[in-house]
């Protein structure tokens, strides 16, 4: 697993108190893309202490408080409250938020008679023999060709030979001089002296903030790094 701290370079319009964009490497882009693999239950649990927009947190707490006697015998609360994140085989990106016990490789099960049925819950009942499907199945990753191994040695989702640009609203694109100039025109930056380049460290605390604001804001980087709370 890669480092749990990532270095970012921000271009800030100090006059408008806004992050125009961040210049980042593959580690930060991999982190952003990995957020899409998080089940809703995991997102809610990560954000409960940091505030959750909407009513999903109420639904989560309702399940927490529900007595087990009301559940089906082959179900348990953790299936919903602590769903497993299916991390891609060979994935080696800095997830930052993966200290949570549910964020690991998903496990699959069969019955002891090895009927051709698979479940991700050891309390599931085999439809063929009606036994518990609690026999673990070892996960076998796809065999890679030599060319696959060469292209995927870095792990993660994107290639590391490229510098990426992440906008305030989390639009991600490869970095280029032309795109940087175009953005200055788009944001109507009149005074270059108002621009500040700032190198910041991104860790788990900022990761939680980014996850929170990505669900409610169009100015995520400004909210995380400048304390802006606008829409």
Give a yes or no: residue 212 inside a domain. yes
Q: How many domains does the chain contain in total?
A: 1
Q: Has residue 179 been placed in a domain?
A: yes
> How would you write the pLDDT of the chain (231 residues) with one tens digit per residue?
445 789 999 999 998 899 999 999 999 998 998 888 888 888 888 887 667 767 888 888 899 999 989 988 878 888 888 877 655 444 444 556 755 555 555 678 899 998 888 987 888 899 999 999 999 887 665 555 544 444 445 677 888 888 999 999 999 999 887 777 777 778 777 777 889 999 999 998 899 899 999 998 999 999 999 987 655
Do the domain assignments include residue 195? yes
Domain membership of residue 97 (yes or no) is yes
- 47 within a domain of the structure (yes/no): no
> pTM surpassing 0.85?
no
Q: What is the pLDDT at residue 3?
A: 52
Answer whether residue 175 is part of any domain.
Answer: yes
The answer to whether position 177 is within a domain reads yes
The DSSP secondary structure of the chain, one letter per residue, reads: ---S-EEEEEEEETTTTEEEEEEE-HHHHHHHHHGGGS-HHHHHHHHGGG--SSSHHHHHHHHHHS-GGGS-TT--THHHHSPPP-PPTT-----SSTTSTT-S---EEE-TT--S--BSSTT-B-TTT--B--EEE---PPPPPHHHHHHTTT-SSS-TTS-EEEETT--EEE--HHHHHHHHHHTT---GGGEEEEEEEE-HHHHHHHHHHHTT-S-HHHHHHH-----
Residue 222 domain flag: yes
Residue 19 belongs to domain spanning: 6-38+85-107+160-226
pLDDT at residue 147, rounded to an integer: 47
């Amino acid at each position: 697993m890669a480092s749990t701290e990532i270095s970012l370079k921000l271009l800030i319009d100090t006059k408008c108190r806004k992050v125009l964009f961040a210049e980042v490497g593959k580690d930060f882009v991999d982190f952003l893309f990995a957020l899409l693999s998080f089940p809703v239950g995991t997102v809610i649990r990560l954000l409960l202490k940091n505030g959750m927009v909407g009513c999903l947190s109420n639904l989560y707490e309702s399940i927490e408080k529900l007595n087990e006697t009301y559940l089906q015998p082959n179900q348990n609360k953790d299936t919903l409250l602590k769903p497993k994140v299916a991390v891609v085989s060979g994935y080696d990106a800095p997830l930052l938020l993966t200290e949570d016990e549910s964020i690991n490789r998903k496990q699959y099960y069969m019955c002891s008679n090895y009927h051709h049925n698979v479940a991700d819950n050891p309390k599931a009942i085999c439809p063929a023999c009606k036994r518990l499907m609690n026999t673990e199945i070892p996960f076998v990753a796809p065999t890679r060709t030599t060319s696959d191994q060469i292209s995927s040695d870095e792990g993660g989702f994107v290639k590391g030979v490229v510098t990426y640009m992440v906008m305030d609203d989390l639009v991600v694109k490869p970095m280029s001089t032309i795109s940087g100039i175009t953005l200055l025109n788009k944001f109507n930056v009149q005074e270059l002296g108002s621009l500040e380049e700032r190198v910041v460290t991104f860790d788990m605390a900022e990761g939680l903030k980014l996850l929170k604001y990505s669900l409610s804001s169009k100015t995520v980087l400004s909210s995380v790094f400048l304390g802006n709370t606008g829409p």
